Amino acid sequence: MSDIIQLLPDSVANQIAAGEVIQRPASVVKELVENAIDAGATNITVRVKDAGKTYIQVIDNGKGMSESDARLCLERHATSKISNANDLFSIRTMGFRGEALASIAAIAEISIKARDTGNDVGTHLRAAGSVIQSQENTSTPVGTNITVKNIFYNVPARRKFLKSDQAELRHIITEFNHAAMAYPDIEFILIHNNTQVFSLPASNYKKRISGIFGKNIQQKLIDIKTETTIVNIQGFIGKAEYAKKTYGEQFFFVNNRYMKHPYFHKAIMKHMKIYYPPTNTQPILSFSRLIQEP
Ligand code: ADP
Ligand code: MG
């Protein structure tokens, strides 16, 4: 039998790897917003068109990037967040694998405008399908401004799998809200097709929750705070009279990272059964923030 194994070209390998990180426009929003948070931004604006299918822009006022970092950030495994395997045990950032921007650049057109504090001029880089097309000086504020156009333009099979605009926008709002809930001290703005969906000024957890769920929620919340030798738990639960049957409005964060696990939902349920007759209802909102030191 003749040899049948061949090495995949980089472009195909990149597209396959990108599939792990980027499933839909909301994945792009999540990755770009997490990068903005990691960059120390105090203001993050997310602008999308057609539920992110044609246009996603995330603008931050974080520490920005130098000319060469703006090029390097598109490489796979390019990260400023860890430098050796030991660093994995003390991660303080949302990202660390250096995969997101490389993945986005593999399956979309990306434009990065960035300036760091050490530079008077910024840089503007454009890439598509993992290939850098141009880089030039530009005037731009300190921070990073990334635009991602035509997601999956070169992977039609994946583009076909995108849901309706309504469904994709819902995914984007979910990701946006998770980040906004975890970081109330950062101002977050979301604009869809030139309409402002959320404008959340920097504030505290309680105000941020009502910024997202509406003012009425304030009177429904009870503060909780517990410190143990293993974890500190801080958050809010809803008053019994507002209990719901589903747990779609329970949110858990560990070290500011949103997480979902049936164990935690069940733990809340189990405790609430004691306090929340009738027994088949859920607290309307349980926003728990676990802080665990590594
Ligand atoms: P990771 O976040 O895992 O490091 P990414 O591909 O998301 O990987 O980003 C690669 C690198 O690009 C980051 O480590 C960071 O140095 C830089 N970077 C990305 N986005 C921003 C941003 N908004 N502001 C400043 N630097 C950024
Ligand atoms: Mg990242």
Residue 20: what pLDDT?
87
Distance 39 CA to ligand 1 centre (A): 8
Residue 247: what pLDDT?
75
pLDDT of 276 strictly over 50: no
**Which residue's alpha carbon is at the smallest distance from atom 16 of ligand 1?**
80
How confident is the model over 130-151, as a mean pLDDT? 97
| Residues facing 122 on adjacent strands | 138
Alpha carbon separation from 218 to 2, 226, 287 (Å, rounded): 70, 21, 13
| pLDDT category of residue 19 using cuts at 50, 70 and 90 | confident
Residue 134: what pLDDT?
98
| pLDDT category of residue 56 using cuts at 50, 70 and 90 | very high
Q: Are 91 and 82 in contact (CB under 8 A)?
A: yes
pLDDT of 92 strictly over 60: yes
pLDDT of 173 strictly over 70: yes
pLDDT of 172 strictly over 70: yes
Give percent above pLDDT 90 in the chain: 63
Q: Are 255 and 51 in contact (CB under 8 A)?
A: no
- For ligand 1, whether the C-beta of 100 sits within 6 Å is yes
Distance 95 CA to ligand 1 centre (A): 8
Q: How far is CA 23 from the centre of its chain?
A: 13
Going across the sheet that includes 221-227, the strands are 221-227, 232-238, 286-291, 250-254, 257-259
- The model's pTM is 0.92
pLDDT of 171 strictly over 80: yes
Q: How many helices (H) and strands (E) does the chain have?
A: 8, 13
